[in-house]
Structures are given as C-alpha cells and as structure tokens.
Amino acid sequence: MKTLPEKYYLTHFFELVSYIEQTSLHLLSDEQRAKLAAFKRLDEQSQCLLVRVINRKREYVCRADLEYSEITDYDAAFNTLYDEKWLSLAAEAQTPQSLLAELNKAQLQTLATKHDLACPPVKSAKKSVWLAFVAGKFTLLNLSDCDLYTHYFTSHFKQDFTYLLFLYFGKSGGALAQFSMRDLGVMQTNAERAQTNAHFDDYQEAQSAFYFSRLYAELKQMSEQEMVATARVLTDESVMQPVGQLAQVKFDHLCFKLANRVAELNGDLSEALLVQSAHPSAQEKYIRLLYSQGEHTRCKQQIEQILDAPSDEQLLFFAEDFYRLKYTSKRTSALTDVLRNSGPKVSLDEAYKGDVEQGLVNHYARQGINAVHCENMLWRTLFCLSFWYELFEDHRNAFSNEFESTPKCIKENTFYRVFETEIERRLSTFDSNDELLSWLVKQASTHFGTHCRLLHWQPEVLTNVFEFAKQAPVQAVCAHLRAMSKDFKNLKDGYPDLMVFDDGVKFVEVKAPGDSLRRNQLITIQTLIRHGFDVDVQSVEWRVDPQQPYVIVDIETTGGKKEHDKITEIAMIKVQGGDIVEEWQSLINPQRRVPKYITELTGIDNNMVVDSPIFSDIMDKIDAFTKDAIFVAHNVNFDFGFIKAEFARLDRPFRRAKLCTVQLGRKWLPGHASYSLGKICQDLSIPLQGHHRAYNDAAATVALFHLINQKRIEAASE
C-alpha cells in the first residue's frame, strides 16, 4: 500500500504555489504576491504548521488538535506565526462571535456557566437554542479570560489559500487533499494530457468568478434575512456585475435559485432577480410570471427576443411552444430546423458513454468517412495562425504588465477595431484554398512551439487545420475569421465536436441522451451556418449496433501489477455482427524472468518466450487491430491497463472504448455464484480448454460475450 511522506502537506502546497507562479501571478493582488514571498521566508516548521491550519475546513482551529509528527517544536512555530501576524487568537478576530457557530453544545454551556449568563435554556435544549442564547449575550463575555477564546485561533491567510485553490482548479470546492489522493493512487488524474495554463485571463475576471462561486456555495447556509440582503445586492447594478463566463454562469444560477427562495418573502425582489438572470429556467419562469400577471404584450416581446436570438436549446423550444399555445401562431428559427431535422439517431454501444464523440468517429469510419475531433482548437489555431503578427508581435497588442499573457485587444474584445485594415488585407489574400493553406503552413513552421495562451501546439490539431484549409469553402472561412476578429469573446468557443470530410467539409455537434446545447454552442453554430458552413447536430442513442466491431482480448503476464510486471502472451479476436472476422495471437518476451508460480498457472515458461518478439515489435499490430473497435475483456481493466502501460512506456497513448464481460455478465446473466471465467463458462456450458492461455480464454470470452449481446439486443427491441 502506498504511503505519503511526512511533510506531504507542505510539498503539495508548494506544488500549488509552483502552478500559480508559472501561470497565474497576474491573477493575484500585490498583497497576495507579497504573502507568498513572505511564506517562503518562514522556517520549515512554521510553514508546516501554517499549511495544516489553513487546510482545516473550519475557520477556527484548536491548539490541542494540531499534533503532527512533522512539527517537532510546536510552540516555537506557533509563536513565530503569531508574532508575524499569520495567526490570531479567536479573541482578537474582527468578528469573534463567529467562533460560537463552530463550538459544540457542551462548549456553549461551559461559556454560559463560566460567565454566569442569566436565564439559560434547559440543559437538554438543542444546540441551536444554546447558540442563539450565547450569541444574544455575547457582549457579556470576557474573551481575554476565556479558555476557549485563548485556545482557538485562525489565519487571515486561509482566504488567500482558498483563492489559490480556486485558481488551480478553476472552480470552488477543490482541496489540497486531492493531491494526496492522487499520490496514494485513490484518485486517477489525466497528468499525461494536462496543460499548464491559467483558468482566467485577468485579475478582474478571476476575482469576479471567485466572488460569485463562493456566494453560490454559501446559499444553502443562508438565513432568510441573509437571502433577502444578498438578493438586494445582486439586483443593485452599481454594486458588482459578473465578469467572465464562469462568473456569469454562477451569477445567473444564483439569481434564479435565490428568486425561488425569496418569492414568498418578497415578490418584487424575486421578480427583479429573474430579470437579472440569463439562466434559461429563470427566463422561462419570468415569461410565465408575466403572462399570469396579465402582461401579455410584455410577455410576447420577451418570447420574440428569445426566438430572434436563442441562447439555449431548451429555452428556445419552450418559447416556440408557449408562443404557439398562447398566441396561436407557429414560428420557428433556422436553428430549430437544424436541431429537429438532423436525421435519425445513430445507435452507439454503451461502451462509448464516456467518449461519445469517438463512438461517432468510429461509426463514420465504418462507412468510409473520415471524421476528426476539432471543437474549439481548430478555429483558435486557425485564428492565431491567420493573424499571428497582429496578435502577438504588433506593439498595439502589447501586454499591459508583466503578469499578463493575453493580447490586449483580445482581452478588451477590440481586435477588429484596432486592426481592421490589416485583417481585411490578410483576408483578401485568401482567395483560394492553396493560398490559405500556404499561409497557415508558413506561420506554423515559423512559430511552432512559441508559448501562446490561445492555442496548444499539438501536431494532430495542425494536421486537422491543414486538411480543413484544403477543402473548406474559403469565403466562409474568411467570413468567420472576420466575425471572430470582431467578437472573439463570444466566438472563441462553443464549436461543434467533429469535423467530417465527406464530399467537402461539414461540422457535427454530437448529442448524447440527456445532453442539451449550451448558450455559447447555439450562438457559434448559428454563426457558422450564417457564414455558409454545413453544420449538423447528430443525436445518438445507446443501443447495440449490429455493425459495431468488438475486439475480445486476453493477456497473460508475469504478475498482477502493471507498474512493474509485463505481458507474456496476447490473443485478440475481432467480432462483427456476431461473427469472428479476424484473429491474432503471439507470445511476448517480457524481458524479465517468468516467476515459477506464473508458469504453474499458465504453462508459459522462460524458454517459451525467449525468442518471442518484445512488446515494441508488436505494438503497431495491436494498435491497428483494435483501432475503431470496442475493447472487450473479462476483467477488462486488467488487460486494458497492462496494454496501456506498455504503450505508455514507449511514449504512445492507447485509448479505446471498453466493455467488461464480468460487469455485463452480472447485469445480463444474473444469478451465478461466481463470474470468474472458469466458473461462468462451466455454468453456461461454454468450452474452455487450457484455461489461462490467452487464445483459449479469449475464445471462451467471445462465446460469453455473444450470449450477453443477445440479451442486450433483445432488451433494446422490447
């Protein structure tokens, strides 16, 4: 079992700080940057203690609760932090009464007894009663002579720490404990795909997102009075308006939730919150409210605004239906026609639930159609390569200070206004696909690898951009690049999932069951259509596709740990339409000795594998054999995990949709005492000779999977 080093909390804190220093110093105030510098000057014991304090969930910490092996001289560390104002006693806090909410009932009773507070509640009264009683007589407490208030302390750095976590995770709720769970192997991360980038462009956006995220998180604990006070703040446009997408999302959701909660307390305030919110449910509720109040003209105007500029798919459908119902008139938008006339649903196996886009890519591939993932990076890369000099080298787009890394005109959304002449001159040179491609290749060759916040230099993205430039309608490309120049803020994201090359280029947004299109997606799709691009919204359903290929895999290994054990044998059987269409198997030289107990189990010994190919010799065959198919195995994470680890050792990714015949067997073939391959095959009369050899086990798994798929198909047809 993995263990953490003694000072892991401090190590993880410095990992957090390192990320902030690399990406997000421009999102800190001068005071916060000074605090980080001062923290580094503290001795290690004081650093350890401070990190332990600020990482506690509660605001106040009791000295008796801070006994950790890495802190060998607690008093010295505490005195240093107290003297340098990192810590303050509860009695010295700006709002010392806030400690009361963190005390238990016995502690509240002790306070009341020690200070002879008159007329206390009965001892059996609830904690909330005792809390209200002590809080009501708080001014009578002598805090300087109160043990609780001299044993509990807090740190002003806790708020800064919470903000640092927010900047790291890009949302509220992140915790230092997630670093620990990662190191222990409890939490899986995507380290190999991670990008070191800031989540926010500038200080104002980060602060706004932090403010509204915290306010939204605190909503559940608010009293009625606090909710009304918060509602008044949110409806006062002179106080603080959201800046940036995350802040806007939290603000809109907060206004909607708060509107529902204060509806009975203050109807006018509730209505004002609905007006403030762009949340689809808030707009729908406001429309219904207007109609119920007899404000039919205003209600109609509100609906027509949605129909003319839809911001959400579900809201659009509601507006159309409500308009038709209340105003006896049918009216639909071009966007609605795209959404509703996108053709029949595509059936995908449930294995693609975690990667529905890849499922559709594979579906197209079986039809001989090339489709690739593109989303936002295609257009961002195209935009940057088209206007690289204007974005990153022209003095008019210089950064405002050393902490910024977003071009000034992009941050201010004034790129076209400042560079209109240069933009139009550049676009005029793109008079053919060859000219467009030539410019993009030249810019990519010149600037490849240059740090840029707006794009990631990924070879596959450049390949997609170049192929797009060869086939896309050039005038449509220029029209959309011009639109991005005029309003990059709203057209930097929301692009369809896939680019499909089928007698030209079209874009496809994939909709899995339960998905709906977000506001920015609708705006972007509508803009692409207006500029002349072919855009589809393709819905999918979870069903067994008869033409879906599956590769049933079994491996034998030198042991059970993929981190250091190796594969000794692999067998792969490709199945399509219920028939076996291809098979492949091989022994593999693990480049280490095969343990005796493994030989006893599998029959594979060192002499059998010594002249066999090593994994790197056959990895291309495995990659090609399993491509565009679903990876199936009995205890799939074992087989898949070993193969993925072998690929990773050779710096190659290995991603496939996967299914497990153990899990599927329990669901579709219930009632068996054991689902081990040997036992389940015996129960179902599936032949299994030479158990624990790769081909024999794979062949038995094929038969088992066939029975399972029959059940899945029958269930889908009912």
Handedness of CA 505, 506, 509, 511 (dihedral sign): negative
CA–CA distance from 623 to each of 363, 437, 586, 615, 679 (Å)? 18, 31, 14, 12, 31
CB count within 10 Å of CB 199 equals: 18
Distance of CA 32 to the CA centre of its chain: 27
In whole angstroms, give the CA distance from residue 401 to residue 408: 10
- What are the tokens at 364? 């197209």
Quick one: DSSP state of residue 643?
H
Identity of residue 198: A
- What are the tokens at 119? 């007329």
Q: In 3D, which of 558, 512, 511, 504 has the Cα closest to residue 532?
A: 504
- What are the tokens at 485? 């120049």
Adjacent-strand bridge partners of 554: 571
- What are the tokens at 154? 């807090």
C-beta of residue 254 within 8 angstroms of C-beta of residue 215 = yes
CA–CA distance from 123 to each of 53, 58, 126, 133 (Å)? 32, 26, 8, 12
Identity of residue 140: L
Dmax over CA atoms of the chain, in Å, equals 90
Tally of CA atoms within 13 A in the half-sphere of 694 that contains its CB: 21
C-beta of residue 482 within 8 angstroms of C-beta of residue 511 = no
Report the alpha-carbon angle 136-141-145, nearest 5.
160
In whole angstroms, give the CA distance from residue 49 to residue 37: 17
Out of 480, 691, 692, 706, pick the active-site residue: 692
For tokens 């797009």, the residue is 468
The answer to whether 692 is a known catalytic residue is yes
In whole angstroms, give the CA distance from residue 655 to residue 623: 10
CA–CA distance from 90 to each of 51, 58, 61, 153, 481 (Å)? 18, 13, 9, 5, 58
For tokens 């001014």, the residue is 139
Residue 703 burial (C-beta neighbours within 10 Å; 0-12, 13-18, 19+)? middle
Residues 6+ apart with CB under 8 A from 285: 256, 259, 274
Phi then psi dihedrals of residue 570, to 5 deg: -140, 140
Backbone torsion region of residue 528, taken as left when φ is above 0, otherwise alpha when ψ lies between -120 and 50, otherwise beta:
alpha
Adjacent-strand bridge partners of 633: 660
Tally of CA atoms within 13 A in the half-sphere of 224 that contains its CB: 5
- What are the tokens at 156? 């002003």
Rounded to the nearest 5 percent, the helix, strand and coil shares of the chain are: 60, 10, 35
Which amino acids are annotated catalytic?
692
